Amino acid sequence: MKLNQAKKYKDLVKIYKYVVPKNQQYGITFWGFNDRDTWIKSFFNMKDWPCLFDEDLNKKTAFYRFYEVLLDKNNY
C-alpha cells in the first residue's frame, strides 16, 4: 500500500507539472493534513489512509515522492 500510494502521489505531481501551464502552477490542494483526521476514515468506514502524514504526524513515503518530483526542475 505504501509504495502504491507513493507512486500515485509522484504521478500526480508529474501530471500537474506537465498539464498545468507554468504560469498557472500555484499549488496542489489536499482534503486533509494527516491520516488521524481524514474525513475518509469516518465517512466511508475504510482503512484508506490518503494523506502525506500518518496518524502520528510522521512523513509517509508518499510525502517524499511528492516532494521529490515537486522540486525536480525537469520538464515532464
Q: How many domains does the chain have?
A: 1
Residue 76 belongs to a domain: no
H helices of the chain, where? 2-19, 39-44, 61-71
Residue 63 belongs to a domain: yes
Residue 59 belongs to a domain: yes
pLDDT for 75: 60
Mean pLDDT on 59-69 = 93
User: Grid coordinates representing 37?
Assistant: 483526521
Residue 12 belongs to a domain: yes
pLDDT digits 0-9 by tens, 14-48: 999 999 999 999 999 887 889 888 887 778 877 77
**Count of Cβ atoms closer than 10 Å to residue 65 Cβ:** 21
User: Grid coordinates representing 41?
Assistant: 476514515
**Count of Cβ atoms closer than 10 Å to residue 62 Cβ:** 24
CA distance 30 to 52: 9
**Count of Cβ atoms closer than 10 Å to residue 13 Cβ:** 19
Domain of 37 in residue numbering reads as 2-71
Residue 64 belongs to a domain: yes
Mean pLDDT on 38-67 = 86
Q: What is the reported pTM?
A: 0.78
